[in-house]
Structure 1
């Protein structure tokens, strides 16, 4: 559980740095996914530091997924928005409303409930069919990104967010499906390639979503697909369970944590400069 929360701290802090870098990068084409945008963002030191934090967070996430059900780790990843909100308020002087501070408390309460109710990780290894499904889903994320490029601005942000969430969800499930890192066995595991494709596609879509369209909409879509889909897979196909008699507490905690994260969806990217200082937006 400490590793799961640690990954949330890393991802939440990295989001602040990566959003600054994505905003500073020169915009490219008007398509939904701009691969060159990622390359331009990589020239920003903030993005590189953010990637380092993402790497550390991913390692902590792997450790957590080897010991906890996917629904707990997924909720912890959604809780990274609370971290982003707090970091933004302290370091960037972003003003949080009372509702947003309440949402931070709600996220923490939800994670506490999950920590009390969660059982051990499921004992099912996962079928070969499930491994191929994860790879197919990862490839589908790339297709979804291409489709997003033809959409108007408003639905484009939602599609990019949903696609990024699906990609990160593939990573969560794939980690559980990789039962050994020994060579050459790991190279024959389809889940390894699902993890690489899904993670890369998710980063690409998320980077594009940070710069285009409604950040709140994109982040809300990310939270929903990143948490709900993998959690269902963990319970139905991988045997994730709760402690005896505490299923109600786990469900309540999961819903509360995700709802609190959705209330903080605007922190998927840094607000505009005027909003950071607490100034009203100019009248249009």
Structure 2
């Protein structure tokens, strides 16, 4: 339990710092694009609905800040995968989702974001909820489910990432919270996939590569990263991360309890439920109160002002 908690906290820290660095890279890329467009040296990097184009997202991905943030995300993924094998999913995913706090603190320094009192209150609620969950958490389940469940996980991952990407592009600048939520669902599928993956213990390459859960992990992880990048481009870093927290916490937690055998300590089910509800409510509140605009929106306004 202790090793699982330590790895989950470390994963949370990596994800939190990584998100802010990715936001810094995304916004620097958008500023450079805006200057190039104003000078007539580049075509617009937004879709017809005002959201970021694939080209715009690709340029954000190759900034050094974004690359460093991605490296931290990868380290966080490895640590999170280990904790998912050691802790109940409702505890593991919620602790990892505490990267919301790290993100908020780093965004003050690196992005100049100023948090309001309701946001600090909501962050405090999330921290308190994590303490309740840690107290209530019992044993983790076996993670053994029929192979048909692995196939369902893969199909759902494809639907969430594929359909979600189309929806976010359709919503344009209004899709930041939706993109954050869908990226969280992608990371949630990743967490579930890691938990049920065959061929890990004992290690068996044949079982590993033939397991649909492996491909659900890849699709959920890569697709979640893309949608999170879009959310950072068009919305508040704290709001996007809070929406991600809800997506990657609620579904895996429910799946862990209902199908994977995760449980709380005897007589503390009510405390676990309270902590879970407070963690999600706190994250939703941060998403609601999150301030700051996405880089593309700012650049679009500056471009329009220059044009007039």
For Structure 1 versus Structure 2, the TM-score category normalised by the shorter chain is 0.7 to 0.9
Q: Which runs of 5+ in 2 are unaligned?
A: 34-43, 296-308
Find the aligned partners of 1:153 and 1:51 in 2 and give their Cα distance. Answer: 23
| Residue 41 of structure 2 corresponds to residue 19 of structure 1 | no
Moved over 4 A (4+): 90-93, 213-220, 266-273
Larger radius of gyration: 2
Distance 1:152 1:124, change over 3 A: closer
| Residue 10 of structure 2 corresponds to residue 6 of structure 1 | yes
| Residue 132 of structure 2 corresponds to residue 110 of structure 1 | no
| Equivalent in 151, 163, 169 of residue 143 of structure 1 | 163
2:140 paired residue number? 121
Distance 1:92 1:201, change over 3 A: closer
Cα RMSD of the aligned pairs, angstroms, is: 2.5
Q: Write out per-residue CA displacement over residues 113-165 of structure 1, whole angstroms, 9 at most, x where no aligned residue.
A: 111111121124022121011111111121221233223542x3343233212
Q: Is the 8 A contact 1:168 1:199 kept in 2?
A: yes
Find the aligned partners of 2:150 and 2:276 in 1 and give their Cα distance. Answer: 26
| Residue 179 of structure 2 corresponds to residue 160 of structure 1 | yes
Find the aligned partners of 1:161 and 1:272 in 2 and give their Cα distance. Answer: 13
Q: Write out per-residue CA displacement over residues 170-223 of structure 1, whole angstroms, 9 at most, x where no aligned residue.
A: 101000011314312200111000100111111111111221256666445433
Taking the TM superposition and a 5 Å limit, the aligned residue runs for 1:22-171 are 22-25=26-29, 26=33, 28-30=45-47, 32=51, 34-90=53-109, 94-140=113-159, 141-151=161-171, 153-154=173-174, 156-171=175-190
Find the aligned partners of 2:18 and 2:288 in 1 and give their Cα distance. Answer: 15
Find the aligned partners of 2:235 and 2:126 in 1 and give their Cα distance. Answer: 26
Q: Is the 8 A contact 2:154 2:216 kept in 1?
A: yes
Q: Which runs of 5+ in 1 are unaligned?
A: 274-284
Find the aligned partners of 2:274 and 2:236 in 1 and give their Cα distance. Answer: 29
Instruction: Compute the TM-score of the two structures, normalised by the length of structure 1.
Output: 0.86
- Alpha-carbon offset, residue 21 of structure 1: 0.8
2:39 paired residue number? none
Q: Is the 8 A contact 1:160 1:206 kept in 2?
A: yes
| Residue 269 of structure 2 corresponds to residue 247 of structure 1 | yes
2:303 paired residue number? none
Aligned length: 272
Instruction: Compute the TM-score of the two structures, normalised by the length of structure 2.
Output: 0.79
1:229 paired residue number? 251
Q: Is the 8 A contact 1:132 1:191 kept in 2?
A: yes
